[in-house]
Amino acid sequence: MRLERLMNEKGVDAILISNLLNVRYFTGFTGTTGTALAVKNKRFFVTDFRYVSQGKEEVEKNGFELICENISTFKKIGELLKEFEVKKIGIENQSVTLDQFKIFQNNFPEVEFIYLDDIFIKEREIKTEEEIQIIRESIKIAEKALKETMPKIKIGVKEREIAAELEYQMRKLGASKASFDIIVASNERSALPHGVASEKVVEEGFLTIDYGCFYKGYASDITRTFYVGDNPTEKHLEIYEIVREANEKAIKAIKDGITVHELDAIARDFIKEKGYGDYFGHGLGHGFGLQIHEYPGVSFKAENKVLKEGMVITIEPGIYLPNFGGVRIEDDILVKKNSYEVLTTLDKKLKLIKK
Instruction: Give the pLDDT confidence score for residue 219 in this predicted structure.
Output: 98
Side-chain-side CA neighbours of residue 314 (13 Å): 30
What's the total number of domains in the chain? 2
Instruction: Give the pLDDT confidence score for residue 100 in this predicted structure.
Output: 86
Instruction: Give the pLDDT confidence score for residue 290 in this predicted structure.
Output: 98
Whose CA is closest to 135, among 146, 148, 126? 126
Pairing of strands 42-47, 35-39: antiparallel
Q: How much of the chain, in percent, has pLDDT values that exceed 70?
A: 100
> What separation in angstroms does the CA of 302 have from each of 178, 195, 264, 340?
28, 26, 10, 21
- Looking at the structure, tell me whether residues 204 and 63 fall in a common domain: no
pLDDT in tens, 173-227: 999 999 999 999 999 999 999 999 999 999 999 999 999 999 999 999 999 999 9
- Looking at the structure, tell me whether residues 185 and 96 fall in a common domain: no
- Looking at the structure, tell me whether residues 109 and 133 fall in a common domain: no
- Sheet-wide strand order for 183-186: 183-186, 205-211, 222-228, 352-353
Question: At which of 93, 123, 153 does a domain end?
Answer: 123
CA 222 to chain CA mean position, Å: 11
Which residues pair with residue 208 across a beta bridge?
Answer: 185, 225
Instruction: Give the pLDDT confidence score for residue 241 in this predicted structure.
Output: 98
pLDDT in tens, 278-305: 999 999 999 999 999 999 999 998 878 9
- Looking at the structure, tell me whether residues 146 and 192 fall in a common domain: yes
For residue 11, the enclosing domain spans: 2-123
Whether 94 and 84 have beta carbons less than 8 Å apart is answered as no
Question: At which of 123, 152, 183 does a domain end?
Answer: 123
Whether 51 and 77 have beta carbons less than 8 Å apart is answered as no
Q: What residues of the chain score a pLDDT lower than 50?
A: none
- Sheet-wide strand order for 213-215: 177-178, 213-215, 218-219
CA angle 113, 50, 14 (to 5 degrees): 20
